[in-house]
Amino acid sequence: MTELFVTEKRRVQDLVPYEKNPRKITAAKQRELESKIGQFGLIGLPVVDADGTLMAGHQRCKVMLAMGKGHELIDVRVATRKLTEAEFKEISVIENSTFGEWDKLLLQSDFSEYVDLGSYGIDLGDLEAQLKEALPDEEKPEMPIVAKFSEKYTAFIIVCTNEIDETNVAELLAVDTMQCYKSSLVGKTHVLTAKHLQDQWKAARS
């Protein structure tokens, strides 16, 4: 099958913006894009019709022109023949849309520390609500995993090297399923007050 697009070198200033480009960008987002291009260069390739009319990459090329990079040669995906109007418009939508969905839990755990996800329009605000809805009713706790201390305290650490020891210690200390006060995550609390420990110790010896 003959490829409809090939990669060629073109000067940024020679690419023709499509007058009815359906994508737009705010001044703030344009400044962010300029910063990213300055940091990483041009990552995604612009896509053009055989006559050089842009279908994707308008904002990137606009920013490069503003940065004085219009004379630079860049890789561009170019149609091997003039596209029909229907082909041009459909490919424009394909190139400027996202068909997949984000795995927000993975983004939160592995990406949020390194990337300002909000600057890319990724909102994790509904993630906690989704996690809460996913919890079975019988596992919904009433107390926090981590106690909220407001004064100085001393910590004693018990190390369990296997699951049997962990189970025995959990039973001895009456460790229960509880909810973190910072989120809807559920687990077993490992922060106990001295009074709780004393009560459990007395109960075990009686």
**Per-residue model confidence as pLDDT tens digits over 135-156:** 555 555 554 555 554 555 566 7
Q: Indicate whether 152 and 109 sit together in one domain.
A: no
Taking the C-alpha atoms of residue 17 and residue 61, their distance in angstroms, rounded to an integer, is 9
Determine the pLDDT at residue 129.
67
State how many domains the chain has: 3
Tens digits of residue pLDDT in 74-119 = 999 999 999 999 999 888 888 877 656 777 787 788 888 887 877 7
Q: Indicate whether 106 and 119 sit together in one domain.
A: yes
Pair 177, 186: CB distance under 8 Å: yes
- Using 50, 70 and 90 to split pLDDT, how confident is the model at 170? confident
Nearest to 94 by CA among 30, 4, 16: 4
- Using 50, 70 and 90 to split pLDDT, how confident is the model at 1? low
Q: Indicate whether 112 and 187 sit together in one domain.
A: no
Pair 107, 35: CB distance under 8 Å: no
Q: Indicate whether 13 and 81 sit together in one domain.
A: yes
Q: Indicate whether 124 and 139 sit together in one domain.
A: no
Q: Indicate whether 30 and 87 sit together in one domain.
A: yes
Q: For residue 34, how many other CB atoms are within 10 A of its CB? A: 17
Place of tokens 């291009």: 37
- Which residue range is the domain that position 107 belongs to? 101-132
Q: How far is CA 132 from CA 29, 98, 129, 187, in A?
A: 33, 27, 5, 13
Q: Indicate whether 41 and 85 sit together in one domain.
A: yes
Q: How far is CA 100 from the centre of its chain?
A: 13
Determine the pLDDT at residue 169.
77
Determine the pLDDT at residue 84.
92
- Using 50, 70 and 90 to split pLDDT, how confident is the model at 179? low
Q: Indicate whether 11 and 81 sit together in one domain.
A: yes
CATH number at residue 27: 3.90.1530
Taking the C-alpha atoms of residue 26 and residue 32, their distance in angstroms, rounded to an integer, is 10
Q: Indicate whether 83 and 67 sit together in one domain.
A: yes
pTM over 0.75: no
Determine the pLDDT at residue 22.
73
Check residue 181 and report its DSSP letter.
T
Please state, rounded to an integer, the average pLDDT across all residues of the chain: 77
